[in-house]
Amino acid sequence: MNKTFFISTAIDYPSGPPHLGHCYEKICADAIARWHRLDKKVHFSTGLDEHGLKIQRSAEKEKKSPEQFVEEIGKLFLQMCKGYNISYDDFIRTTEKRHEKAVNHILKSMHKKGDIYKGNYEGMYCVECENYYTEKDLVNGNCPVHNKPVEVIKEESYFFRMSKYQDKLIEYIKKNKFVLPEKKKNEILNRLKEPLKDLSITRTSFSWGIPFPLDPKHIIYVWGDALVNYLTTIGYPDNKYKKFWPANIHLIGSDIVWHHAVVWPTMLMSAGIKPPKTVFVHGFINAEGGVKMSKSLGNVIDPLEIIKYYPLDSIRYFLLREIPFGEDGSFSEVKLVERHNQELANDLGNLLRRTTVLIEKNLGGKIPQKGKDELCKKLNLKKISDHMEKLELHNALSELWKFINESNKYVNDKEPWNVKDKKKLGDILYNLVEALRLTAIMLKPFMPGTSEEIAKQLGIKDFEKQSLKDMRYGKYKYSSLGKTKVLFEKIEVIQKKAKMEEERMTEEHGKELYMEDKISFSEFQKIDLRVGKITKIQPHPKADKLYILMVDLGEGEHDVQLVAGIRQHYKEEELLGKQIVVVRNLQPAVLRGVESEGMLLAAEFKGKIVLISPEKEIETGAKIR
C-alpha cells in the first residue's frame, strides 16, 4: 500500500452541542476514508475550531472561560464521533500547541513573500459566521447567511494580499477538479468575476485566538487560524506533511465554500504550498419536511438523541443512501424506518438468515466446498468503484443492493430447501456464503458494524484484513459458521421516537380524555415558552407605544429582538435586567418596520398591563412547562 489518501472534514465550532449536520459530514467522510483504506494508506482528520469571537461570546454567556467552555462542549463532539463509529486518524483542536506552530510558520512564509501588510479595516462582521461583509453583501441590512444584524468594525489590522492571486486561482479552478460538484465550481467562478479584495487577517478587539507572530497585540482572524488545521494534522511545518499533501478531499458544507475555495488556496499559493486537490461540497441536512434546522424553531436534530432510538448502522445507511451526495436532504424517521425494514431487515438480513439457517439445518453448520460461480460474477465491482471515485456514495450503495437482490432472487430460483442432492445443495449454499462475504467487504465503508457482524456469523477470521484484493470468488477458505442471529430486527412502529415521547407524556400527565373545546397537552407543548432577561431597551422610532427590547434567552450566541407595546406602562429603567416570559417559537412579525422574533407575556385588565415574570430568579432560557 504505497498510495496515500488524505480526507478531512471541516472542524466544527464547539459553540453549542453537535447537530445532525455535523454528524452527517463526518459519516460521509468516514465512508470515503474507509473505502480508500481498502487499498491505500489513509489519513482522515476531523476536529474542533475553538478560537474566535463566536466561541468567546458563547463562553461569556455561560460565565465560563473559553478554555473550560470548549473543553465541555468538545466532549459532546468526541462522544458523537465514538457513537457513530467515525474512524478518524486525528481529532485536531486549534488550541493545541502543534497548531499554533503551524499557523505561525505559514503566516511567516506569507510575510516573507511580501504578502502581508498593515492597514485599517473598516466594515461589517457577522460573528455567527465569523465573516466580513460589505454593504453590498447584506440583505435588508442583515447577514445574508444568518439574517441577523452585523457588527460594524473599525480597527487596525494586518491584511493578506489575496488580490494578487486572483488570476492564478481562477486558472487553477478552471483546470482542475478543485471545486465539486460542478455547480459549486461555477458559483465560485462567477463570484471571481469581481475583483478579489485583500483579506483582513488579524483583529485587536478581542483576545481568544492565536497571537499574530509579527505583532502579538493582534490576534489571528479565526479562519486564518482554522484553515491551517489541514496542514497541522499531517505534521506541517515538518517535511513529513508532504506524505499526505496535497489533500485529496476537503469535505465541507455549502456555507463555507468561499473560505475553502478562495481564501485557503490563495494562502497556500502565497506560502509556496500546492492547493488541495478537491474541495467537495456536500448538501445541507434539514429537519423533517425539509425545514431548516434552527434553535429558534426547536427542530435541531441531536445525533446523540436519535441514536437512542435507531440502530447506528440504520442511521448511517439512511443518510448515505437517501441523500444524493452533494445535494440537500431531510432527515425523516418514517423513511429511515422504511429503509431499515425493507433494505436492511428484509433484503440483507433475510439473505443472511436464510443462508445460515439452511447451512445449520442441512450441513450441521459446516460451510461447503467451493463449486462453480453462478452468482458472485453478477457483482459489478467496477461500477461500485466508479461511483466511489466520483463520490456518488448513494449510487454505490444502490449498485450493491442490486447484487443483494440478485442473491435473494438466486435463493428463490434455486429453492435450496427442495434440493435433495447434497453436492448441488452445497454448491448453492457456498455461492450464497461467498456473495455475503463480498457484500460484507463492500459494506465496510458504509456500515462497518454490520459488515463485521456478517463476517462473524460466517465464521470468517481476520476479516479486518480483507479488502479489495479479496473480492474474488473462492478467495477465502471457510470452516464453520459462527454464532448466528437475526441481523436487523424490524422496527414495527414508524416514528418510534414520537411513540416513545407519547408514552412518556401519558406516564407523566395521565391519559387524555377528549373534549371538543379543549386543546391537548401536546398542542399546548408546541408553544415554546422561555424565561428571558431584558438586556437592552430602545423606544421604537415610529411608534410611541412600542419598545424594541433585546432579550437574552440563554441561546449562547445572540439575544432576540422583541417589539412590545408596554412603553406606556413601564419605564426603561424598570425593565433593564428584568426576567420575563417569552413565546419563543412564534412566527417573526414586523411592527412598524422593526422585526420582532417572539412575544412577551403580560396580564391585562381594563387597560392596565403587567408583565409576567418568574417568581424567583432562574437561569435565562429556562423552559416553562
Q: How many C-beta atoms surround the C-beta of residue 132 within 10 A?
A: 18
Min dist CB 328 to ligand ME8, Å, is 8
Task: In the chain, count H helices and then E strands.
Answer: 21, 23
Q: Can you tell me which of 30, 32, 49, 231 binds ligand ME8, judged by CB under 6 A?
A: 49
Using CB under 6 A, pick the residue from 5, 17, 25, 336 that binds ligand ME8.
Answer: 25
Q: Could you say whether residue 285 binds ligand ME8 (CB under 6 A)?
A: yes
Does 57 interact with ligand ME8 (rule: CB under 6 A)?
Answer: no
Is 255 a binding residue for ligand ME8 by CB under 6 A? The answer is yes
Question: Counting every residue, how long is the chain?
Answer: 625
Residue 128 near ligand ME8 by CB under 6 A? no
143 near ligand ME8 (CB under 6 A): no
- Contact between 210 and ligand ME8 by CB under 6 A: the answer reads no
Largest CA distance in the chain: 95
Cell triple for 557: 450566541
For residues 172 and 195, what is the distance between their CA atoms, to the nearest angstrom?
17
143 given a catalytic annotation: yes
| Residue 280 interacting with ligand ME8 (CB under 6 A) | no
User: Does 227 participate in binding ligand ME8 (rule CB under 6 A)?
Assistant: yes
**In the set 70, 127, 188, 226, which binds ligand ME8 (CB under 6 A)?**
226
The three three-digit cell numbers of residue 77, written as one number: 463532539
Alpha-carbon dihedral of residues 46, 47, 49, 55, nearest 10 degrees?
140
**42: helix, coil or strand?**
strand
Q: Looking at the DSSP assignment, which residues form a beta bridge with residue 594?
A: 591
The answer to whether residue 12 forms part of the interface with ligand ME8 (CB under 6 A) is yes
Distance (Å) of CA 32 to CA 11, 249, 257, 444? 17, 10, 20, 10
Of the pair 260, 540, the CB lying nearest ligand ME8 is at 260
Instruction: Give 244 or 410: the residue with its C-beta nearer to ligand ME8.
Output: 244
Please tell me whether residue 256 binds ligand ME8 under the rule CB under 6 A: yes
Among 91, 133, 258, 284, binds ligand ME8 (CB under 6 A): 284
For ligand ME8, the closer of residues 247 and 256 by Cβ is: 256
Q: Which of 6, 7, 17, 21 binds ligand ME8 (CB under 6 A)?
A: 21
- Least distance (Å) between residue 410 CB and ligand ME8: 39
* Closer residue to ligand ME8, CB minimum distance, 96 or 406: 96
What is the C-alpha to C-alpha distance for residues 537 and 572, in angstroms, rounded to an integer? 6
What residue type is assigned to position 610 of the chain?
V
Strands (E), 29-182: 41-48, 90-93, 116-126, 131-133, 151-160, 179-180
Residue 82 CA to residue 450 CA, distance in Å, equals 16
Residue number with the smallest Cβ distance to ligand ME8: 253
Task: Confirm whether 295 is a catalytic residue.
Answer: yes
Per CB under 6 A, 231 contacts ligand ME8: no
Does 440 participate in binding ligand ME8 (rule CB under 6 A)?
A: no
Tell me 289's DSSP state: G
Does residue 15 come out as left (phi exceeding 0), alpha (psi in the -120 to 50 range) or beta?
alpha
Instruction: Rank residues 318 and 476 by Cβ distance to ligand ME8 and give the closer one.
Output: 318
Determine which one of 23, 28, 129, 376 is catalytic: 129
Question: Exposed, middle or buried: residue 526 (CB in 10 Å: 0-12, 13-18, 19+)?
Answer: exposed
Is 51 strand, coil or helix? coil
Q: Which of 292, 423, 477, 485 is catalytic?
A: 292
Q: Name the minimum Å distance from CB 362 to ligand ME8.
A: 49
- The H or E element containing residue 5 is strand 4-12
Site for ligand ME8, rule CB under 6 A: 10-13, 21-22, 24-25, 49, 226-227, 229, 252-253, 255-256, 284-285, 293
Report the catalytic residues. 19, 22, 126, 129, 143, 146, 292, 295
